[in-house]
Amino acid sequence: MATSSLISSGASLFFNKISQKDAGVSPAQVITTSIQQKKILSVMAPQTSERKPSTTGSVKTGMTMTEKIFARASEKSKVSPGENVWVNVDVLMTHDVCGPGAIGVFKKEFGDNAKVWDSEKVVLIPDHYIFTSDERANRNVDILRDFANEQNIKYFYDITDRGNFKANPDYKGVCHIALAQEGHCRPGEVLVGTDSHTCTAGAFGQFATGIGNTDAGFALGTGKLLLKVPPTLRFVLDGEMPDYLLAKDLILQIIGEISVSGATYKAMEFVGSTVESLSMEERMTLCNMVVEAGGKNGIIQADATTFKYLEDKTSVPFEPVYSDTQARYVAEYRIDVTKLEPLVAKPHSPDNRGLARECKDVKLDRVYIGSCTGGKTEDFLAAAKVLLASDDKVKVPTFIVPATQKVWMDLYTVPVPGSGGKTCSQIFERAGCEPPNSPSCGACVGGPLDIYARMNEPQVCLSTTNRNFPGRMGNKEGQIYLASPYTAAASALTGLVTDPREFMH
């Protein structure tokens, strides 16, 4: 059994790990520690089990949701972790950064006149480096457009007027949120995309994962991919969500616990009463960051919340799958969310977990609220809630970048609960935030020099995004603290990393 060590900087660890959760085996509690403890913890890495099918017939094993999706997509009655299977792809997404490369592979391998396997299953979403004068970046969008026309691609969310994104009815914005809003995230299906955060769509009970350009080029031609069935880790999150926490805190807790390699090539299945109570957008935040722990996919079973969200989004029939009670997991983690506190991931790794309140001496130069992780409508409503609780103005430049056109509209139209009908945009303006800017991934991932809110100086930024690697938002010497929109808004008001409870009474 492998063992890995993990440094906990005093973050609350109400986090019990139970290994080898198999049917009939009583789980043993491996770790329990409390919030007061500050020490280096040794955390057992997930145990890998020999997952051979039963030969005696006396032990029944079931399948996890991820395994069931693999089985259906590979037209098999049963699959097991570690097995390589040819999977039929339901949706293939690519964007302006990787699309040209994937198209290049497709043309090279299948021929200049080849046709994609299904022009209704390919989704092209320009979203990364859109609002820039960088010629190469703009050429990438042109390549997507030419390909969409040539292949008669049904779902191409084009942008032609970069000066005024609102003048582009087809332009959506950040792909992972656009995919959900446009009805491409459907339970039981396989969604692959040339972006590591494609795992966001696991929130819908879909198998969703990021792939490279070579795989995407192959899938464009065949609609198939050879994939290894991942073993599943099970995360049981129970308890009523404290009103100062958001899903971002939950996933930072988990990544801090298992480390950035703790789920390498594993499915991360989220269950429990807390998960059931989360909205779709919050479930998307949870699944969005599984890749920061190395996860192959994140997954949450579809329920009434999912079906309600999908009601007006798709007419495509879908078939949800559910994990069997006798499904086998390589490890199970239990989290009592009522014991958690607002968290940050300190520079320069998403697993460098710290309590927000323990970082209160960290001076900030800026705050960024945006991206697939933290730029959804509910993320802005959460930030607005904290800003509303104070008459103060923000102390540092606070950038507002909605993930999509739809989120942009919501900022100007959806009333913030408890505000007497004010919208997020009104609250942000009163608090002195920068005016909301065009939806894109640009600043989250650095991008060309003229990208809005790119970190061009060696500054300290608190951000609702998903990665804080050196250079991530532009400057190599910059420091990024990842946090929830509550913590972002509280920190904007003080200019220091701030626990949102200071403003939430």
Ligand X SMILES: CC(C)[C@H](C(=O)O)[C@@H](O)C(=O)O
The binding site for ligand X (CB under 6 A) comprises: 97-98, 128, 195-197, 210, 441, 445
Residue closer to ligand X (CB basis): 187 or 474: 474
Provide, rounded to whole angstroms, the least separation between the CB of residue 420 and ligand X.
37
Provide, rounded to whole angstroms, the least separation between the CB of residue 371 and ligand X.
8
Residue closer to ligand X (CB basis): 93 or 237: 93
Provide, rounded to whole angstroms, the least separation between the CB of residue 160 and ligand X.
22
Provide, rounded to whole angstroms, the least separation between the CB of residue 66 and ligand X.
20
Provide, rounded to whole angstroms, the least separation between the CB of residue 401 and ligand X.
14
Q: Element (H or E) spanning 227, and its range?
A: strand 224-228
Give residue number: closest CB to ligand X.
196
Residue closer to ligand X (CB basis): 253 or 466: 466
CB-based contacts of 44, cutoff 8 Å, min separation 6: 1, 3, 4, 17, 19, 30, 31
Q: DSSP code of 173?
A: B
Residue closer to ligand X (CB basis): 9 or 214: 214
Contact in structure between 248 and 484 (CB atoms under 8 Å)? yes
Provide, rounded to whole angstroms, the least separation between the CB of residue 483 and ligand X.
17
Residue closer to ligand X (CB basis): 189 or 195: 195
Cis peptide before 95 (omega within 30 of 0): no
> Does the CA dihedral 68-70-75-77 come out positive or negative?
negative
Residue 100: φ, ψ to 5°: -55, -40
Residues pairing with 16 in the sheet: 334
Provide, rounded to whole angstroms, the least separation between the CB of residue 376 and ligand X.
16
Closest to 10 in 3D by CA, of 351, 354, 334, 352: 354
CB-based contacts of 160, cutoff 8 Å, min separation 6: 168
Tokens of 195: 């972006």
Q: What 3-state DSSP class applies to 57? A: coil
Provide, rounded to whole angstroms, the least separation between the CB of residue 200 and ligand X.
11
Q: What 3-state DSSP class applies to 494? A: helix
DSSP per-residue letters across 78-145: ---TT-EEEEE-SEEEEETTTHHHHHHHHHHHH-TT---S-TTSEEEE--SS-SS--HHHHHHHHHHH
Return the number of other C-beta atoms located less than 10 Å from residue 61's C-beta.
16
Burial class (CB in 10 A: 0-12, 13-18, 19+), 175: buried
Provide, rounded to whole angstroms, the least separation between the CB of residue 348 and ligand X.
14
Residue closer to ligand X (CB basis): 127 or 249: 127
Residue closer to ligand X (CB basis): 8 or 198: 198
What is the distance of C-alpha 421 from the center of its chain? 30
Tokens of 285: 């935040």
Provide, rounded to whole angstroms, the least separation between the CB of residue 51 and ligand X.
29
Residue closer to ligand X (CB basis): 188 or 210: 210
Residue closer to ligand X (CB basis): 172 or 197: 197
Residue 438: φ, ψ to 5°: -55, 135
Alpha carbon dihedral 88, 91, 92, 96, in 10-degree steps, equals: 180
Residue type present at position 315: S
CA 357 to each of CA 71, 247, 342, 388: distance values in angstroms, whole numbers, following the listed order: 46, 18, 8, 21
Residue type present at position 34: S
Residues pairing with 235 in the sheet: 270, 333
Residue closer to ligand X (CB basis): 381 or 451: 451
Residue closer to ligand X (CB basis): 197 or 296: 197
What is the distance of C-alpha 453 from the center of its chain? 21
Provide, rounded to whole angstroms, the least separation between the CB of residue 472 and ligand X.
8
Provide, rounded to whole angstroms, the least separation between the CB of residue 505 and ligand X.
36
Tokens of 464: 């609702």
Residue closer to ligand X (CB basis): 98 or 483: 98
Return the number of other C-beta atoms located less than 10 Å from residue 221's C-beta.
18
